[in-house]
Amino acid sequence: MTVSRRDFLKASAAAAAFAAAGASALNPLRPKDADAASTSGLTWGKAPCRFCGTGCGVLVGVKDGKIVATKGDPQAPVNKGLNCIKGYFLSKILYGKDRLTKPLIRKGNRMVEASWDEAMNLIAAKFKESIAKHGPNSVAIYGSGQWTIADGYAAAKLFKGGIGTNNVEANARLCMASAVVGFMTTFGSDEPMGCYDDLDLGDTYILWGANMAECHPVLFSRLIDNRLRNPKVKIVDFGTRFTRTSQMANQYVKFAPQSDLALLNAIAHVIVKEKLYDQGFINKHVVFKKGKEKIGYGLEDKFKFADDPKPMTFEEYQAFLKPYTPEYASKVSGVPAKTIVEIARLYADKSRKVCSLWTMGVNEHSRGSWVNNLIYNVHLLTGKICRPGENPMSLTGQPSACGTAREVGTFTHRLPADMVVTNPEHREKAARIWGVDPHKIPDKPSYHTVEMFRALDRGDIRCMWIQCTNPFQSMPNLNRYRKGARKEGRFIVVSDIYPNRTTEQADVILPTASWVEKEGMWGNAERRTHHFHKLVNAPGEGRSDLAQLIDFAHRMGYGHLFPYKHPEKEIWEEYRKFGEGQGKDLAPYESYVKARGLRWPVVNGKETRWRYVEGHDPYVKAGEGIKFYKNKATNYKAVIWARPYEPPAEIPDKQYPFWLCTGRVLEHWHTATMTGRVMELKRANPNAVCEMHPEDAKRLGIKNRDKVRVSSRRGSVVLTVDLNGRGKSERGNLFVPFFDETKLINELCIDAYCPLSGEPDFKKCAVRVEKA
């Protein structure tokens, strides 16, 4: 077969990315008709991948009412036909032997089969009883960045506009809330100004806490593809452990946990001191502010915090940066002062297009909102923003953490399209669209996720419905919340597809339709909204989350809020009203049925690749250049924030001398509810292990594959030590993935959280290690 240079480069990039992650590319140069014989008789449909927030397009092959094959969609602009290793096994995620197929109700210590009527009547009766005795805030719904847009919209409309409680949260609070606060406080609008095209067009990529080779391998392949085409491309990886991403980067910069705050301020210090900033850009597009300092970590219940921003001048900001010399930051971080200066100059180099990329290393942080602000500071100081190939971008971990949790606003404080419950005009608009009294929507947030589960433990929340997420494996300080769920007087409903550590806590389990067993929309990390059709039926009596919510609404007396014949389509057209004319414009439903996703704002049928910039964004007029048009309060300017360094909520000491960091691995997604049912993925990575530095192990008399007990002030777990794994922890650091339901590493994690976002810090707590 003949291979073009373009195809060769693409295949080489794919192979490099998979090699970086410890896997091999599966026939990346396969001719287009190679699998024609094996796919005869199949009906193919398009869909976004079920896993992370990348939003890869896949083709789904159906035969005899079952998914029998999937492959990368060559017409999908995100992945251009490439899948990661999880994507290759999508056809198997719905067919585990223990798939839930009937409603189950707790009878004593047993779960027994029930009819849908019996289960839904019980749920409605319990919720009504709780509301009557304890008020609307005694009930809650906890959803997911895996909810479809219609799912999340229905949940928000029912609970906020119907029941009258803001007790609506999603697991995106655990991964993306700090990114949201960063965007909102800096630009006045959530989600990036750039898009994935920046991965192809830039030449400098600085990664902060992002193991892209394993957690976003398809996007990482685009970086490698770019580097293969352009020798000028440089990838710098800032990390607390050496990963497959570090191995493929041009430069690995190791730093101490939490010291990113000092490092980014030091980079800004160098840029200002050496006058490397873009004065014209700053004068036209930037204001300066400072917020509260010396604040807590949310470890006490009902912690409240307001940022209380104050304006400042450039000179005052310069004075704020003065202590953050490269030498000071070097002492805090361990990064040589010379390296800090080099990175600052790299950011400011006018001949280079710079992109910053980050994930949970920044967001799951007790000061995650601040770190997001500090990354934007560097781009705003240098004017490297809103242009093709040079933008900051936060990458997401769930298929609709953006489209559902963030855009729909399935958080206690939010409404759709960046609106908030505290703003009376926003409440009035939502009430008008929903057809409810504006006073029905509470004017104050209730509980963010950590506080919601604390309220369940205390008894302030009595009834909680959990849909398509597994919090009793994924929450930090897990022991407290698992015990709290089973206290007397609590009633837990769980909608899921498989038994897991959350269904163990349930009083009612509802079998759920997943992925292409229903119709829906998701939104990915580059503002791209995807549509997918229902291609197969759910097994047994499984029903979609949306169908369950609408059924529940009718039984609760709120059926009039859902008068739909085709709910997915009609909800979409209703939801679109929130963003029209607000820079959040969405296309009509049928446009997404035909397209491989569209990036909002979509105006006159045209998607937007780069926001806030003339020639790309329809909201920026000719002659305006760059305009941060959502920031009306600052005269359409972005904010550079003075955010100080502060130490973590918990640091190692003599009793607990190690740092613990948790995270994901290539083969498994989140708590492995789906990937754990795929034999090939389970066999490739069967159990969580404790990654440890060989010198630390030697000092403690620990050998590779020994059993050790890792303990914190909150719990302990026995693990196998891995000294030769794909990741290499730095001295004094441990890494343990959280996918293994038999090794609940989150029992050890502290539930300290960023006071602005409510997002907990899964990356830093103090532990000790002993031979088991």
In the beta sheet, which residues pair with residue 719? Answer: 708
Please give the pLDDT value at position 14.
52
Residue 765 in marked binding region? no
Residue 671 in marked binding region? yes
CATH class of the domain comprising 187-398: alpha beta
Please give the pLDDT value at position 300.
87
- Model confidence at 422: pLDDT above 50: yes
Residue 690 in marked binding region? no
- Count CA atoms closer than 13 A to 602's CA, side-chain side: 17
* Torsion over CA: 411, 414, 416, 421 (sign): positive
Residue 171 in marked binding region? yes
Q: What is the pLDDT of residues 354-370, one digit of tens each?
A: 999 999 999 999 999 99
Based on the residue annotation, tell me whether 193 is a catalytic residue of this protein. no
Please give the pLDDT value at position 39.
55
Mean of per-residue pLDDT scores for the chain:
94
Residue 373 in marked binding region? no
Based on the residue annotation, tell me whether 86 is a catalytic residue of this protein. yes
Tokens 């997404």 found at: 592
Could you give the percent of the chain with pLDDT greater than 70? Answer: 95
Segments of the chain assigned to CATH 3.30.200.210: 5-92
- Model confidence at 25: pLDDT above 50: no
Residue 195 in marked binding region? no
Based on the residue annotation, tell me whether 175 is a catalytic residue of this protein. yes
Residue 146 in marked binding region? yes
Catalytic: which of 397, 409, 520, 758? 397
- Model confidence at 649: pLDDT above 80: yes
Q: What is the pLDDT of residues 518-568, one digit of tens each?
A: 999 999 999 999 999 999 999 999 999 999 999 999 999 999 999 999 999
Distance (Å, whole) CA 476 – CA 460: 20
Q: What is the pLDDT of residues 89-112, one digit of tens each?
A: 999 999 999 999 999 999 998 999
End-to-end CA distance of the chain: 56
Residue 763 in marked binding region? yes
Catalytic: which of 71, 72, 152, 175? 175
Q: Which two tokens stand for residue 619?
A: 């909201």
> Which residues are within 8 A (CB) of 607 and not within 5 positions of it... i.e. 6 or more apart?
598, 599, 600
Q: How confident is the model at residue 305 (pLDDT cuts 50, 70, 90)?
A: confident
Residue 332 in marked binding region? no
- Model confidence at 671: pLDDT above 70: yes
Please give the pLDDT value at position 5.
44
Nearest to 744, CA basis, from 686, 699, 687: 687
Packed helices 149-156 and 567-579: angle between N→C axes, nearest 10 degrees: 70
Distance (Å, whole) CA 593 – CA 530: 8
Distance (Å, whole) CA 670 – CA 424: 37
Residue 639 in marked binding region? no
Q: How confident is the model at residue 293 (pLDDT cuts 50, 70, 90)?
A: confident
Please give the pLDDT value at position 370.
98
Please give the pLDDT value at position 306.
79
Of the candidate ranges 33-42, 79-88, 308-317, 497-506, the one whose mean pLDDT is the lowest: 33-42
The CATH label, of 3.40.720.10, 3.40.1030.10, 3.40.50.150, 3.30.200.210, for the domain at 5-92 is: 3.30.200.210
Please give the pLDDT value at position 517.
98
Residue 574 in marked binding region? no
Residue 225 in marked binding region? no
Residue 56 in marked binding region? yes
Based on the residue annotation, tell me whether 397 is a catalytic residue of this protein. yes
> Which residues are within 8 A (CB) of 597 and not within 5 positions of it... i.e. 6 or more apart?
48, 55, 57, 76, 77, 78, 524, 528, 529, 530, 531
> How is the chain split among helix, strand and coil, in percent rounded to 5?
35, 20, 45
Q: What is the pLDDT of residues 142-185, one digit of tens each?
A: 999 999 999 999 999 999 999 999 999 999 999 999 999 999 99
Please give the pLDDT value at position 7.
53
Residue 230 in marked binding region? no
Segments of the chain assigned to CATH 3.40.228.10: 187-398
Q: What is the pLDDT of residues 448-485, one digit of tens each?
A: 999 999 999 999 999 999 999 999 999 999 999 999 99
215: left (phi over 0), alpha (psi -120 to 50) or beta: alpha
Please give the pLDDT value at position 666.
96
In the beta sheet, which residues pair with residue 104? Answer: 113, 509
- Domain 104-175+399-559, CATH: 3.40.50.740
Segments of the chain assigned to CATH 3.40.50.740: 104-175+399-559
Catalytic: which of 10, 71, 80, 86? 86
**Beta strands per DSSP E along 376-460:** 392-394
Distance (Å, whole) CA 169 – CA 180: 14
Neighbours of 707 (CB within 10 A): 12
Q: 601: helix, coil or strand?
A: coil
Segments of the chain assigned to CATH 2.40.40.20: 658-749
Distance (Å, whole) CA 90 – CA 459: 40
Q: What value does the mean pLDDT take over residues 500-520?
A: 98
- Model confidence at 299: pLDDT above 70: yes
Of the candidate ranges 25-34, 151-160, 201-210, 404-413, the one whose mean pLDDT is the lowest: 25-34
Distance (Å, whole) CA 62 – CA 43: 5
The CATH label, of 3.40.50.1400, 3.40.50.720, 3.90.79.10, 2.40.40.20, for the domain at 658-749 is: 2.40.40.20
Residue 102, Cβ density class (10 Å: 0-12 exposed, 13-18 middle, ≥19 buried): middle
Q: How confident is the model at residue 21 (pLDDT cuts 50, 70, 90)?
A: very low
Q: What is the pLDDT of residues 735-770, one digit of tens each?
A: 999 999 999 999 999 999 999 999 999 999 999 999
Residue 259 in marked binding region? yes
Q: Which two tokens stand for residue 371?
A: 């770190």
Catalytic: which of 120, 248, 360, 475? 360
Residue 665 in marked binding region? yes
Q: What is the pLDDT of residues 250-288, one digit of tens each?
A: 999 999 999 999 999 999 999 999 999 999 999 999 999
- Model confidence at 28: pLDDT above 50: no
Based on the residue annotation, tell me whether 176 is a catalytic residue of this protein. yes
Residue 258, Cβ density class (10 Å: 0-12 exposed, 13-18 middle, ≥19 buried): buried
Catalytic: which of 398, 467, 505, 548? 398
